[in-house]
Amino acid sequence: MRRVSYMLSEAFRNISRNLVVVLGAVLAVFISLFLTFGSVIFGQIAEVTLEEWSNDVRVIAYLRDDVPDPAALVEAVAAWDGVDSVVFFSKLQAIDEARRLFANDPSQLRLLEDDPSFIPTSLRVAPSDLEEVERIQAQLQGLPGVDQVRSADDAVKRLISLRTSLQTFSLVLATALGFAAIALIANTIHMAIYARREEIEIMQLVGASRWFVRTPFVIEGVVEGTLGGLFAVGFIVMLYRMALQADLPNLISIDVGSGFLSQWSILIVAFGALVGFVGSALSLTLHRGIKL
């Protein structure tokens, strides 16, 4: 127990001696893990949003007035692969829907009441998967009697593209900063070893084991990495809770669940500790001034 107490006190004494350098190492770990955790959270938000969108996305085919048999068209489209359901919207249903949509827009309502005939009939096609939207849209466009096809395909593509780009950029930058954090921690440990070189030599002369000498430096690195991880988790959780309370558009669902957040918080802190361990181990392995 006395040995453990000594090792811990030595580790924290080393930290207090090189506080500015230690803060730099902690900051590097913080930024690296903040970007990593942030990209994970954003990716999950995009997944949740896409999943919710997939339940509501419809490909709408507006029909010309001369379509002879809409029921046959519905039956044919419903048989396609990738189609979950097809609903025929009559002019009357479309007009009722337009009245609800433009309830707070008097000018649009007036236009609708003056000439409701411009509202077309339509097919509302629910895809079984978001990846089917583009194909269904192209197939509908080729059907006789179809005037125009609309869908949220462009919005879905933009969200997927944005998610992929941000995740890739964040992870590349986080990886680079992770190596920088390891290097900074290794340098911090190197400076601590150099500052205590005479004390270490005396300990070795009186028979202290290699790990008795090494362990305080390993603990120092792990503490620095863990602090960086804790700060990253704390900052992300704070921003996430602020976003939950903010008045965001209903199109975006940012509730990723407390379980997901807790699991990744633990992983991020553990990874921070690992970065610190690797940095300290690297410094102890490469140090040439004193044989450790």
Q: What is the pLDDT of residue 287?
A: 66
Fold annotation for 58-151: Alpha-Beta Plaits (3.30.70)
Selection from 140, 144, 124 nearest residue 80 by Cα: 140
Tokens of 84: 């979950």
Cα gap 34→28, rounded to integer Å? 10
Q: What is the phi/psi pair of residue 256, to 5°?
A: -90, -5
> Which stretch of 23-27, 158-162, 224-228 has the lowest confidence by average pLDDT?
158-162
| Helix, strand, or coil (residue 142) | coil
Mean per-residue pLDDT for 167-173?
Answer: 76
> Which stretch of 27-31, 211-215, 259-263 has the lowest confidence by average pLDDT?
211-215
pTM above 0.75, yes or no: no
Q: What is the pLDDT of residue 6?
A: 65
| Helix, strand, or coil (residue 87) | strand
> Which stretch of 132-146, 221-235, 276-290 has the lowest confidence by average pLDDT?
276-290
Cα gap 227→231, rounded to integer Å? 6
- Give me the DSSP letters along 16-27: HHTHHHHHHHHH
Query: What pLDDT band is residue 192 in, cutting at 50, 70 and 90?
Result: confident
Cα gap 216→208, rounded to integer Å? 13
Sorted by sequence, the CB contacts under 8 Å of residue 100 that are 6+ apart come out as none
Q: What is the pLDDT of residue 231?
A: 94
Distance of CA 20 to the CA centre of its chain: 32
Q: What is the pLDDT of residue 273?
A: 92
CATH 3.30.70.3040 placement within the chain? 58-151
Q: What is the phi/psi pair of residue 246, to 5°?
A: -75, 160
> Which stretch of 80-84, 172-176, 203-207 has the lowest confidence by average pLDDT?
203-207
Query: What pLDDT band is residue 185 in, cutting at 50, 70 and 90?
Result: confident
Helices (H) and strands (E) in the chain, counts: 10, 4
Mean per-residue pLDDT for 241-269?
Answer: 74
Cα gap 271→264, rounded to integer Å? 10
Selection from 12, 4, 13, 1 nearest residue 227 by Cα: 12
63-72, 84-93, 251-260: range with highest mean pLDDT: 84-93
| Helix, strand, or coil (residue 88) | strand
Residue 59 DSSP one-character state: E
Query: What pLDDT band is residue 230 in, cutting at 50, 70 and 90?
Result: very high
Tokens of 3: 């040995």
Q: What is the pLDDT of residues 194-228, one digit of tens each?
A: 777 777 777 777 776 777 777 888 888 899 899 99
Query: What pLDDT band is residue 283 in, cutting at 50, 70 and 90?
Result: confident
Residue 34 DSSP one-character state: H
Query: What pLDDT band is residue 252 in, cutting at 50, 70 and 90?
Result: low
